[in-house]
Chain A
């Protein structure tokens, strides 16, 4: 696998208060075989919370794919999809 997967978690206050706090535990749930290719970083406010069209906070981005109302499970699903594992 040569694809790198970068996960950006919005740490703006709106995201953090509305459930984003728990996304900071994401690292604990990344399957071992993906440790090498997945990197997780916190991001300053992505400003998505300012417009309703983007959905509801918290937001995360997995290689450009925006996930709204993000949970650890939803973000993991997207990571696995992009890494082509079930």
Chain B
């Protein structure tokens, strides 16, 4: 689905509203009004009625406040209570995603649907070829019985008019690892033994029924506390606002962060270590090495391609090195990673040097709530600038470029780039792990296009990639 859609905009609008109330100091007092403000009496409705629309807004707010919607025990519990709990919370807990089961429309009971292009023909090959006798004729049109259909697709193949279409369940189709499926009521649920936290389901659901559990309240609370709060910005941020990098960094400071570090600094270290490791592994005659910087990919290896584990670089991620550096210099400070990624939120929960994670979308919403215009911020020089090598990581092929530039030129380097984790590309990786490697260096980016196309971005990925490349001189 195009990332720019109504579900995304509603989510951002709610984040802005919640953050505005926080800044005003009236979060608990006024948050119960948000569903009514969004859908006032006699306003247009999106779902069956404004009451359902309001109920969904409430659930969205619960997720933005960082709670798990599935945990709702008392439907009468007001948002103000959820807000109070969020304000009192000192710890965050997994999982990073939550399913708004009331929001899930339990869409597409079976994947095959007879359109009105059906001519009710004499031959009726759909009926004759259906192995389950699931097709009958009603008013001169074929009809599929949802109870009997097993999604074999023979009817679609058989129809001479192409009148039967395949309809996917968008979240299930987007999930590269089959981690999301319907429960007994037809509503989607996530199996966290399989989930790689890529966020593709959340992005693809046309009902916006899968959300991240935001940490904006936790971060806002830290920003108004006594401790220093240090932001670590992923290089993907370069293309995320219509202005230059320096102003974006200044805008983050104006939100209340005491300093901002480029995660590209860590990426520079990742590139150096990974290049060194690659040379070593090739020297030891290992057939190939694969990247470790994409947390959704490393999670996929752990849960779905265990044979690949020994080929994954043991070099740490850019976030790891950056957080490590900050902790060492400033052990008391609170650290917040800001990037385009949902899987990073999971990675951060397993790294004691990273306290919180914000997506770029959340950062944008906080800036809007505080009335900070990035274009108007001063462009002060970055105090500790990273190299172009590290800044190039978020565009697909960027890590490969970084390794190419770092290894010795006479080394044999046969890179292969997996641009986006899908069921198909996972098969390629599974084959590679079993000895059919298409090169000696495999870069894997879970999001097609790289991190600039992550689930938490604001900019159009093409525009963003062009901006990163312009800055780093990548082709």
**A83 vs chain B, min Cβ distance (A):** 25
| Residues of A contacting B12 in the complex (Cβ-Cβ under 8 angstroms) | 17-18
Contact of A12 with B375 in the complex, beta carbons under 8 Å: yes
Q: How far is the CA of A13 from the CA of B366 in the complex (A)?
A: 10
By CB atoms of chain B within 10 A, which of A13, A22, A24 has the most? A13
Query: Is A38 part of the contact surface with B, judged by Cβ < 8 Å?
Result: no
| Residues of A contacting B4 in the complex (Cβ-Cβ under 8 angstroms) | 19, 21-22
| Residues of B contacting A11 in the complex (Cβ-Cβ under 8 angstroms) | 242-243, 375
Interface residues of B in 331-380 (CB under 8 A from A): 361, 364-365, 367-368, 372-376
Contact of B459 with A18 in the complex, beta carbons under 8 Å: no
Contact of A17 with B460 in the complex, beta carbons under 8 Å: no
Contact of B458 with A17 in the complex, beta carbons under 8 Å: yes
**Number of A-B residue pairs with CB-CB distance less than 8 Å in the complex they form:** 56
- The answer, among A14, A16, A19, for a CB contact under 8 Å with B242, is A16
Query: Is A42 part of the contact surface with B, judged by Cβ < 8 Å?
Result: yes
Chain B interface size band reads 20 to 34
Q: How far is the CA of A82 from the CA of B404 in the complex (A)?
A: 52
Contact of B459 with A21 in the complex, beta carbons under 8 Å: yes
Contact of A13 with B460 in the complex, beta carbons under 8 Å: no
Find the A residue at minimum CB distance from B462. A25
Q: How far is the CA of A45 from the CA of B364 in the complex (A)?
A: 15
Interface residues of A in 4-55 (CB under 8 A from B): 11-14, 16-19, 21-22, 24-25, 42, 44-45
Contact of B463 with A45 in the complex, beta carbons under 8 Å: no
A interface size (C-beta, 8 A): 15
- The answer, among B9, B365, B372, B463, for a CB contact under 8 Å with A25, is B463
Query: Is B241 part of the contact surface with A, judged by Cβ < 8 Å?
Result: yes
Query: Is B13 part of the contact surface with A, judged by Cβ < 8 Å?
Result: yes
Q: How far is the CA of A19 from the CA of B463 in the complex (A)?
A: 14
Interface residues of B in 375-389 (CB under 8 A from A): 375-376
| Residues of A contacting B374 in the complex (Cβ-Cβ under 8 angstroms) | 13, 16
Contact of A16 with B463 in the complex, beta carbons under 8 Å: no
Known: A16-B364, A42-B242. A24 touches B463 (CB 8 A): yes
Contact of A21 with B463 in the complex, beta carbons under 8 Å: yes
Contact of B373 with A45 in the complex, beta carbons under 8 Å: yes
Contact with A along B232-269 (1 / 0, CB 8 A): 00000000011100000001000000000000000000
- The answer, among B365, B368, B460, for a CB contact under 8 Å with A24, is B460
Contact of B9 with A13 in the complex, beta carbons under 8 Å: no
Q: How far is the CA of A22 from the CA of B376 in the complex (A)?
A: 21
Contact of B463 with A13 in the complex, beta carbons under 8 Å: no
Q: How far is the CA of A46 from the CA of B195 in the complex (A)?
A: 43
Contact with A along B3-37 (1 / 0, CB 8 A): 01000010011001000000000000000000000
Q: How far is the CA of A13 from the CA of B250 in the complex (A)?
A: 14
Contact of B367 with A24 in the complex, beta carbons under 8 Å: no
Contact with B along A51-81 (1 / 0, CB 8 A): 0000000000000000000000000000000
Q: How far is the CA of A42 from the CA of B242 in the complex (A)?
A: 9
- The answer, among A13, A25, A42, for a CB contact under 8 Å with B368, is A13
| Residues of A contacting B375 in the complex (Cβ-Cβ under 8 angstroms) | 11-13, 44-45
| Residues of B contacting A18 in the complex (Cβ-Cβ under 8 angstroms) | 9, 12-13, 368
Q: How far is the CA of A25 from the CA of B462 in the complex (A)?
A: 9
Q: How far is the CA of A61 from the CA of B9 in the complex (A)?
A: 21
By CB atoms of chain A within 10 A, which of B16, B242, B375, B458 has the most? B242
Interface residues of B in 431-475 (CB under 8 A from A): 458-460, 462-463
Q: How far is the CA of A21 from the CA of B462 in the complex (A)?
A: 11
Q: How far is the CA of A17 from the CA of B203 in the complex (A)?
A: 16
Contact of A13 with B364 in the complex, beta carbons under 8 Å: yes
| Chain B contact residues, CB within 8 Å of chain A | 4, 9, 12-13, 16, 241-243, 251, 361, 364-365, 367-368, 372-376, 458-460, 462-463
A-B contact pairs, 6 of them (CB 8 A): A13-B372, A18-B9, A18-B368, A21-B4, A21-B460, A45-B373
Pairs A-B, 9 closest by C-beta atoms: A17-B364, A11-B242, A22-B4, A14-B368, A21-B459, A13-B373, A13-B374, A13-B367, A21-B458
